[in-house]
Amino acid sequence: MTIVLEARNLFAGYGGVPVLHGIDLRVHEGEVVALLGANGAGKTTTLLALAGVIPSHGEIIVNGSPAAGPLHQRARAGLSFLPEERGIIRALTVREHFDLAQVDQEACFEISPQLRALANRQAGQLSGGEQQILALTRAVASNPKVLLADELSLGLAPIVVSRMLGLARQLAERGAGVLLVEQFARQALLVSDRAYVLRRGQIVLSGTASDLLADIGTVEKTYFGMPEEINR
Ligand SMILES: Nc1ncnc2c1ncn2[C@@H]1O[C@H](COP(=O)(O)OP(=O)(O)O)[C@@H](O)[C@H]1O
Ligand SMILES: [Mg+2]
């Protein structure tokens, strides 16, 4: 199967303080891959490095080409990044969000029909769940070859979570690769094909989602115990 995203020996950090210590990962066409780990393990940092938001060392290959430069350049190679902050502008309507992102409105409404009735509503007047769906819909509608999504399920009602994870799965079924960062392992593993577990900036475990789920008690106890702030 074609690899749509690959990182080899990836190092990154903040202001000279290293956080990632040589990450290797791959996402294939059609795959949803979970990137799991305790709070502070380096999940968001990995996405920021892959997206080109922060500088990194090592190799990143997006859709067959070495990724270089900032996010907007990587976006042209087919990468879409859904950051934790989501990039919703409260004063803009749903429709204006789609226009600003230069994605087809009708395609967006087909992806998430519930947004059609909200098209002229300002994003600030949407519920939290609706804002999340707006952000993900916009990312999916850009028809990326690779989607990087940070904490899709964080703080959302279960119905919204399943809608969000379902959209990620649909995108993969259309041939994209999805890298899903999640702090809560079980839920992510249920919609993923494979997973990597990060600890202190290194991949310490990888496998199929079903293998990890089969052993989830031990996996959680071993890798998800405590926030990782100290002794990096
Ligand atoms: N902007 C930043 N400046 C300095 N350190 C940061 C910054 N963002 C995150 N870190 C540190 O990097 C480590 C990994 O953080 P992060 O990638 O956000 O973890 P996760 O997403 O897995 O919770 C943590 O020790 C965190 O304190
Ligand atoms: Mg994070």
Give the residues across from 12 on adjacent strands.
20, 56
Which tokens belong to 105?
A: 């409105």
- The terminus-to-terminus CA distance of the chain in angstroms comes to 36
Residue 218 has pLDDT above 90, yes or no: no
* CATH numeric code, 3-87+144-223: 3.40.50.300
Single-letter amino acid, residue 128: G
Tens-digit pLDDT profile for residues 177-191: 999 998 888 888 999
Tens-digit pLDDT profile for residues 118-155: 999 999 999 999 999 999 999 999 999 999 999 988 88
CA of 190 to the centre of ligand 1 (A): 26
**Greater pLDDT, 58 or 160:** 58
Of all protein residues, the one whose alpha carbon is nearest to atom 2 of ligand 1 is: 14
Name every protein residue with a CB atom under 6 angstroms from any ligand 1 atom: 14, 19, 37, 39-45, 229
- The mean pLDDT of the chain is 93
The rounded distance, in Å, linking the Cα atoms of 130 and 152 is 13
**Ligand 1 pocket test, candidate residues 11, 44, 82, most atoms within 8 A of CB:** 44
Taking the CA of 48 as reference, the closest ligand is 1
